Structure formats: C-alpha cells, structure tokens
Amino acid sequence: MSTAAAAPVRQLDPHSVGELREAAEKTLEEFGTSATSPQLLARIRQYADGFGDTLRRHCRPVDTIDGLFVLRGLTVDDDAAGPTPPGWAHAKDSGAVHDIALLLLAELMGNPIAWQGQQDGRFVHNIVPSPGHEDEQTGASSTVLLSPHTEDAFHPGRAHLLMLSCVRNHDRVATTAASIRKAELALSDVELLTRPELPILPDDAYAEAQGYAEAAPPAVPALFASKDGLTLRFDPAYTPLERADDAYRAAYRRLEAELARVSVAVTLDPGEVLVVDNDLVVHGRVPFKARYDGTDRWLKRASVRVPGRRRRPLAEAYEHGYGQAALEAHAG
C-alpha cells in the first residue's frame, strides 16, 4: 500500500475558504440547524451559484487516473466541534457548520443525495465508531479492516462522488483507496467479471433492505467496460462469492489482490476533504482502537450524483434497489 503522499491535493486559497466559511455560517445562523429541508437546500444552491470561479475550479471533476483528490485549506476548531458523538444517532447538530460547508462543496460538484433508509435521511452523515458495532463492515466499525468497496454498491442509484470531510483524527487513522484505472488485469478476468454473475447485497446500515435481499436479488457485474476505460461496482463483504464457479471466484480474488496492490492510504487532517470517484475507486479504512471518550475519529460524509454522467449500463435502471429510495437535493 502506498502512502498518503500519493493522493493528489488541491489547496484552497484563502479567498475560497472565506467564501465557504461565510456562506456556511450565514446558513447556520438563518436556519439554526444542519438538518436539511427544502428551504435550506435552496439556500445552499443560492450561495453555491454565487461562488467565484476559483472555488469552482478547485471543485472541478476528478481528472486523473487516481480517481480522487484531497481538498486542503479548511480548518476545524477542535474545542468548538465538541466531543465525538458515540454514534450517528447521537450526533444531531454536532459540527453543524461543517455539515453545511460540505453540502456547499457537494453542490458545486453536482447534486447532493441522501437515503431514506440511512441516518434519518440526512444529506450529511456522521461517521464515528459506535459501541457494539466494532466488527461490522460499516462506517460504525473500528477494530476490523473496513474492506475496500464501492459506496452503496448494492444500489443502481449510488453516488458518482463520495466526499469525506475530517472533523477529528487524533489517531491518524487512514482511509484506504484504490483506483481500477491503476490495476493490471488479464483480459480473461475482465471478460468474466463484466458478466452479471452475483448480487451485491445491502450492507448492515440498511436494515429495511434486508427483506429484499432474500427475494431474488439481481446479479450485477463487478466491472464495466466504458469508452474511457474500466469502472467497477465492488463490495466483497456483501457479495456471496460462494455461489460462483471456481473460475469466477479466482478472477474476483485476483481483482481484490490487484486493488490491494495499488491501494493508497490517505490520512486526513481536520478540515481536509477527500473526494472519491465512486465509479473508479474503492475505499475502506484501517483498523483502530476506539476509546469512546469523545476524542475518536470523526468524519462527515456526503454523496453526490453528477447530472448527465454515464459510466454504467442502462440495465441497472431495472433493478429494484432493495426498496431503498434516494432523496435528491434538487429534482431534475
């Protein structure tokens, strides 16, 4: 695994930082909460529409085969942020100004989305270790390796971009990321893995989706061949690989190994935002020991769809999505 230096960095200039901070603070003052409403989302768009060209250039699409970049320049007051919540349900408006700043950045990159079945439909999620969830393959875990995966891989309407904003990371816990465009795969493996062979089941964060997982879940490809190169839809922790034949399982394991080979470790500092192309890059997290004393790692997460983007087969539109509905910040 490579070091964090391998992650491209976009340094926000002081004027752009000031634009974001002023808009976030004004929005929070007006609404008194980061819990999204149509009115708050409309105000977010209004502010984003007024941002200057420099900030827009910082938020341009991912433009390297790395499939990711780190936005640097925002700051976090550790004391003002308050203690790390012991779970997303306890977070409420903790770090609300950071929620709004992340939503403003998401608005510049596309259309923010949320999920009815996850974290009460909020457009910004709190990613914190939670007691009793240490060994799960979700963002609430800690003691296990969070396997590299496509965000919400089970769903045809998953985000094009994933944004992770760091509020606190005293222990320097790394996020892992690997781009399919850096992987070297045999053509025979690509041929196997572009076939719709196995389903990807919803992860444990989507409790309401579990019933659909038992009723003929759709088989999906792990890889797609687009005009620009390979893209992927990958979540080994929720893919029942035992249902496939030996040849497919071997090809899948070689894909896993190749993604591990090209993986980078990105250690975020407070204020930094990791932006991941969810069609090109799988992400995960190294294990760590949670203390549950208010000082643990704390990230904010936002998901973005990019209007007009096509990197996925049209057949995905006919999947049931395990009954999960995405909420879009703006229709159309």
Q: pLDDT tens for residues 85-103?
A: 999 889 999 999 999 999 9
Q: Which of 35, 94, 68 is closest to 298 using CA atoms?
A: 94
Q: Which two tokens stand for residue 7?
A: 């992650």
Q: Please report, for the chain, the start and end positions of each structural domain, with discontinuous segments joined by +.
A: 4-308
Per the CB < 8 A criterion, the answer to whether 285 and 147 are in contact is: no
| pLDDT given at position 146 | 87
pLDDT digits (tens, 9 = 90+) for 143-191: 888 899 999 999 999 999 999 999 999 999 999 999 999 999 999 999 9
Name the fold adopted by 4-308: Double-stranded beta-helix (3.60.130)
Region 200-219: mean pLDDT is 75
| pLDDT given at position 2 | 44
Q: Is 2 helix (H, G, I), strand (E, B) or coil?
A: strand
Q: 164: buried, middle or exposed (CB in 10 Å: 19+, 13-18, 0-12)?
A: buried
Confidence of residue 214 (pLDDT cuts 50, 70, 90): low
CA distance 61 to 135: 34
| pLDDT given at position 229 | 93
Q: What is the dihedral of CA 291, 297, 302, 306, to 10 degrees?
A: -130
| pLDDT given at position 289 | 94
pTM of structure = 0.95
- Which residues make beta-bridge pairs with 281? 179
Averaged pLDDT of the chain: 92
Between 220 and 209, residue with greater pLDDT? 220
Q: How far is CA 165 from the centre of its chain?
A: 10
Q: Which of 93, 81, 104, 77 is closest to 19 using CA atoms?
A: 104
State the distance between the two ends of the chain, measured CA to CA, in whole angstroms: 40
| pLDDT given at position 5 | 47
What is the DSSP code string of 94-152?
TTHHHHHHHHHHHHHHSEEEEETTSGGG-SSEEE---TT-TTSSSTT--SS-EEEE-TT
| pLDDT given at position 3 | 43
Q: What is the dihedral of CA 238, 297, 77, 113, to 10 degrees?
A: 10
Q: Is 291 helix (H, G, I), strand (E, B) or coil?
A: coil
What is the DSSP code string of 43-91?
HHHHHHHT--HHHHHHTPPP-STT-EEEEE-----HHHH-SPPSSHHHH
Q: Which two tokens stand for residue 278?
A: 């969810």
CA of 127: how far to CAs of 15, 17, 296, 298, 318, in Å?
Answer: 29, 23, 10, 6, 31
Where does 214-325 have alpha helices with state H?
246-261
Confidence of residue 211 (pLDDT cuts 50, 70, 90): low
| pLDDT given at position 4 | 42
| pLDDT given at position 48 | 97
Region 297-314: mean pLDDT is 92
Confidence of residue 45 (pLDDT cuts 50, 70, 90): very high
